[in-house]
A = this chain, B = another copy of it.
Amino acid sequence: MRAVVLRAPHHVEVAELPIPHITSPTDILIQVEQTAICGTDLHPYEGRLELEPDIVLGHEFLGTVVDAGNAVNQFTEGDRVVSSCVASCGSCYQCRRHQPGNCAGARIFGLGMALGDLAGGQAEYVVVPNADINARHIPANGTACDDDILFAGDIMTTGYEAIARAMFPGDTVAVVGAGPVGLCATMAAGALGAAQVIVIDKVAARLKEAENLGASAVDAAQNDPADAVLDATDWRGADVVVDAVGHESALLTAISLVRAGGTLSIPGVYNEDAITMPFGELYLKGVKVEMGVSHITEYIDEVIALNCAGRLRPSAIISHRMGLSQAPEAYRMFEAREATKIVLDPRS
């Protein structure tokens, strides 16, 4: 089969590899029909995350089951499925407490040995372990919502969780960062009953996308986000602030926007060893902070249902569709920010 392999930083190739096969009775093998490049893929691509050589990349994908282990209950050959980007065990302490993102044996597709040694989904075939826990049926009304469901395994559900764990209906939500996760959070806020969503970024095109989703856009290069949020909330601040960036400056902006008693919800990934925080301000405001790896399988069913109902349409952020064979060019464009979101077709 053909697969996108990372040979070295900035060097991906479409290689011919043997079709993988299931090795555990709880595995399924999927023939991939769509797969996407995610911002997280840039970590190994740019060499910021060092992987073993020749890793198959990719953790956003959907397709059709072509083989299933004999302990798989939910899936059989021919079923169309999407998978969580994080494979959890379903039975450790954290999984039993409904925190699969903290699974003791969590594995992420296409990110190498340290993250569980799972080959990625930018390929014609991929194995999903512990399928009953980690995969989901694509509802039978055909392929109508495939483009939306593609993102249910990662960015859409990550943005959704950031809202669902923190927001009450009628709330004012501020989203710092209008990248893919920020835009997904913006959609989720609307679908779950936010009264208003205020999106902060400095890139005009992204702000335009946020406005298309019904949000108010604040260009932080030109206006003080705190002023904008206070204006929109009778000077209280936002009930929920989503930090969808993952840098210290975004965090400090986010803290400045939240009201007393509000919640700071952080889907952004933080690698910094240390950040100096205005802790007195957080204490005085009585802020609740939520962060960490997403609990995809806890929220993916809601997301898929809302995808198929047309209430969440993350396909809106797809900017390019290319063949898998064009992966080297696709990665180049994505790194160069010439594309917002690229979907690859493994069949071409």
Identify the A interface with B (CB < 8 A): 24-26, 69-71, 73-74, 89-94, 96-99, 101-102, 105, 132-133, 164, 168-171, 191-196, 234, 236, 251, 260-261, 266, 269-280, 282-293, 297, 301-306, 308-309, 311
Choose among B89, B169, B274, B308 the residue that contacts A276 (Cβ–Cβ < 8 A): B274
* Complex interface: chain B residues within 8 A of A102 (CB): 260-261, 285-286
Q: How many copies does the complex hold?
A: 4
Question: Shortest distance in angstroms between A144's beta carbon and chain B's nearest beta carbon?
Answer: 14
Q: Are A272 and B261 in contact (CB under 8 A)?
A: no
The list of the 7 closest CB pairs from A to B, nearest first, reads: A286-B292, A170-B305, A170-B302, A91-B132, A102-B261, A25-B25, A195-B305
Q: Are B279 and A99 in contact (CB under 8 A)?
A: no
Which residue of chain B has the shortest Cβ distance to A303 in the bound complex?
Answer: B170
Q: Are A288 and B286 in contact (CB under 8 A)?
A: no
* Complex interface: chain B residues within 8 A of A96 (CB): 297, 301
Bound complex: CA A71 to CA B273 (Å): 38
* Complex interface: chain B residues within 8 A of A105 (CB): 73
Given contacts A91-B133, A273-B278, contact A292 B285 (CB under 8 A): yes
* Complex interface: chain B residues within 8 A of A304 (CB): 170
Which residue of chain B has the shortest Cβ distance to A98 in the bound complex?
Answer: B98
Given contacts A93-B236, A168-B302, contact A193 B191 (CB under 8 A): yes
Bound complex: CA A285 to CA B292 (Å): 6
Q: Are B74 and A71 in contact (CB under 8 A)?
A: no
* Complex interface: chain B residues within 8 A of A192 (CB): 169, 192-193
Bound complex: CA A271 to CA B94 (Å): 34
Q: Are A279 and B272 in contact (CB under 8 A)?
A: yes
Choose among B69, B171, B286 the residue that contacts A71 (Cβ–Cβ < 8 A): B69
The winner among A164, A171, A277, A304 for most chain B CB atoms within 10 A is A277
* Complex interface: chain B residues within 8 A of A171 (CB): 305
* Complex interface: chain B residues within 8 A of A196 (CB): 309
Question: Shortest distance in angstroms between A159's beta carbon and chain B's nearest beta carbon?
Answer: 13
Choose among B266, B280, B305 the residue that contacts A272 (Cβ–Cβ < 8 A): B280
Q: Are A97 and B261 in contact (CB under 8 A)?
A: yes
Bound complex: CA A280 to CA B269 (Å): 9
Bound complex: CA A188 to CA B279 (Å): 26
Q: Are A25 and B270 in contact (CB under 8 A)?
A: no
The winner among A90, A170, A278 for most chain B CB atoms within 10 A is A170
* Complex interface: chain B residues within 8 A of A301 (CB): 93, 96-97, 170
Which residue of chain B has the shortest Cβ distance to A248 in the bound complex?
Answer: B279
